[in-house]
Each structure stands twice: as structure tokens, then as C-alpha cells.
Amino acid sequence: KPVNNRDKSPLRATINQRDAAALAQGYSKAFRAVEIASIVVFLALGSLLIWRLVPELADSWLVIFAAYMVGWAAADFMSGLVHWGADTWGSVDMPVIGQSLLRSFREHHVDEKAITHHDFVELNGANCLVSLPIMGIATWLSFRMDGPVTVFAVACILSVTVWIFFT
């Protein structure tokens, strides 16, 4: 059941929110299983990427550091953009992304403390899930590292995904 949004800005007033209990009930066991699998694969790929980058540290430490910093800034920008988009557009009734991704963004607007009641999996699983495609690209690139450009790309992608994990 939609409820009025407390934010009085014209754009926010057009968004229908659900009550906190209805949003909390949208977290399914099936999506939890997907989140657990995503976390496991995320950690495995992240570990592999670190293992592939360690030999490059001696010759490319400055490139890796620069990539880390660019990845940090990119992750901050992307997480803000995604957060704004998920709060502003779409509906929790949308197929696939509604209950799995948009629901959690909307929940904290009607129950600010809801996030403090979630466990590690619910807090981080969706972030891991959306990071997997780009980590797959970085993994593929890591087996083709033949210079500073690919080292930068792999390290930057790893940095982005790690910082997104922490958001």
C-alpha cells in the first residue's frame, strides 16, 4: 500500500513509497540464495584478481595506486548515481529488479533504521551481484596483462568493485 513520502520536494512527492513492513516482506529466500552465491563468487574473483596483480607490484606500483584512486572516485560516483536512480525511478513491483534491488533502496526511506537489522548477506549480496559482470571482464583481462594499460584496467575494476562492496 503506497504511503506519502515525508520529503516535500516536487520530484519526491511523485514517488509512491510502500510502508516499511511491506518492503521488509519483499526479501525472499530465493534472492537470499542468489546473494550468498554472489558473495562467494565475488570473493573468489577478487582473490584471483589480487593474486594476478601481486606480481605486477614491483614494476607497476604507481599504476596500481593510480588505478586504486580512480576506482575509489568512480565507485563513489557510480554508487551515488545508482542510489539516486533506484530511489527516483522504477517501482518495487517491477519484474526482476523491483523486489531484488529497488526494494532495499526504498525501505530505508520509510524505516531509516531498517538497515541496522539486516545481516551481512542482505547488506552486501546485491552489491556483489551487480559487481560480478565487471569482475568477469577484469578476470578475463588479468590473463592478458601485457602492459600498464591492462594492469591499470584490472586494478581499477578491482578497486571499483571493492569500494562498491563497502557502500
Read off the pTM: 0.75
Arithmetic mean of pLDDT over the chain: 82
Counted residue by residue, the chain has a size of 167
Of 10-14, 63-67, 91-95, give the range with the top mean pLDDT.
63-67
Quick check: 43 pLDDT over 90?
yes
107 or 11: which leads in pLDDT: 107
Distance CA 93, CA 139 (A): 34
The reported pLDDT for the residue numbered 47 is 97
Q: Each residue of 130-162: pLDDT tens digit?
A: 899 999 999 999 999 899 999 999 999 999 999
Could you tell me the sign of the dihedral formed by the alpha carbons of 2, 20, 4, 83, in that order? negative
Q: Distance of CA 120 to CAs 125, 135, 151, 166, Å?
A: 8, 21, 31, 11
125 neighbors 34 (Cβ within 8 angstroms): yes
